[in-house]
Structure 1
């Protein structure tokens, strides 16, 4: 595992796509004292064969083509995908050291198409937090947050917190997008609309971003790291957010 002691004064997130040849990186955070060890779920990871590692699971859901995969790829690679390929299932992971305790943070991408409605919930068990995504250029995907996605995740995982994420904010003021929506007597989803829905549905928070420009992209995952169910130790609740967010630059390749 990549072990690197780095200051958290300028945190940079980094997640690696899981593969048989790529071990999970290890990230060290500087906290005043180690976290107490108690968690209902544990996993074993390479580099910590003698340690029990606590797992944190985040699942990303939402309509097809709203930018869920672009969200993860842009965040983890700093590159924007050149073409759209519908996702069936994909996952990313990072090992985070909080005090002396290792955590595995997993991000799970899912397919939004109706064809996968029966397959998708197989990724829901033991989820700690959901990212429920919609495109700000698609009022239909926004309405589906209320009509489909919140009912679905709360049916399978009652009580698990959700963050509502508005994607593709770089297109909100695009003339062609506004013209296309205008012909249907619609407008892009406003930030206030997202915040109102989050309050009505009891979401942890509404956040929005652009995977293309990376505007507010990091903020989305900062919120994931600080979602209520992820604070596995009461001590963490009193820490500043930047002390919980992982900090690691991508490993250098020769």
Structure 2
């Protein structure tokens, strides 16, 4: 069985832990508890093949800026979670580029259920902010993310699709590397003769 390591980063209280718990344990946490580090594991099937998906939850608070990168080595894919785009460009994308420049990224807009909450929309508008899919897509393009996806851990919407997309992205990249390696070896052997 292939294994895929998926590390989830983003600001504190953006919904990372809720996303992981809702997906892996079918349970939405009742209250916010800041995470330092936590791991979840689940098995999924992609193209009739089982995959062990390791999910790494990280702390978004500044207090953990020096500890968080310890979870980055050998990461197959990162999910940058955000509710407002400010810190994606200022913090998360630069941090991942510095520590793991070649690992693919999926940009994840969390708490998509709030888009239909009139009180929350009014609150965001008061601060000049509005959740826009187009803004997420533009941001994903800007950071060269593999995809932009939205989800709601509270309603369990889009979670299955998100993690399937993450695993498929990794498997596709592994297959591409294998093909490139095989072609490279064949060319080396041809040149040697």
3-state SS, counterpart of residue 233 of structure 1: helix
CA RMSD of aligned residues (A): 2.5
Corresponding position of 2:18: 70
Alignment of 1:133 onto 2:76: no
TM-score, with structure 1 as normaliser? 0.64
1:8-35 deviation per Cα after TM superposition (whole angstroms, max 9, x unaligned): xxxxxxxxxxxxxxxxxxxxxxxxxxxx
How many matched pairs?
A: 179
Displaced runs of 4+ in structure 1, greater than 6 A?
Answer: 97-102
Q: What is residue 65 of structure 2 aligned with on the other side?
A: 117
Among candidates 167, 177, 184, match of residue 225 of structure 1: 167
Runs of at least 5 residues in structure 2 that lack an aligned partner in the other structure: 180-193
Do 1:129 and 1:229's aligned partners in 2 also have CA atoms closer than 8 Å?
no
Trace 1:158-237 onto structure 2 (pairs within 5 A). 158-184=101-127, 186-228=128-170, 231-234=173-176
Query: Which of 71, 74, 88 is the matching residue for 1:145?
Result: 88
**Does the CA-based 8 Å contact 2:76-2:170 persist in structure 1?**
no
Q: Matches of 2:51 and 2:148 in 1, distance apart?
A: 25
Structure 2: how far apart are the matches of 1:229 and 1:156? 22
Q: 1:230 to 1:90 in 2, by over 3 A?
A: farther
Change in 2 beyond 3 A, CA 1:222/1:99:
closer
In the alignment, is the contact (CA less than 8 A) between 2:73 and 2:100 conserved in 1? yes
The aligned counterpart of 1:248 is none
Q: Which moved more, 1:89-98 or 1:120-129?
A: 89-98
Equivalent-residue separation in structure 2 for 1:97 and 1:174 (angstroms): 34
Q: How many Å separate the matches in 2 of 1:99 and 1:176? A: 42
Q: Distance in 1 between matches of 2:98 and 2:143?
A: 14
What's the CA shift string for 1:60-100, capped at 9, x where partnerless?
Answer: 00000000000011111222110110000000123567799
The 1:215/1:54 distance shift into structure 2, 3 A limit, reads closer
Q: 2:4 touches 2:170 (CA, 8 Å); kept in 1?
A: no
Q: Deviations over 1:130-175 (max 9, x none)?
A: 000012xxx3xx1111111000011000111000000001112312
Q: 1:85 aligns with which of 33, 43, 47?
A: 33
TM-score normalised per structure 2? 0.83
2:185 aligned partner: none
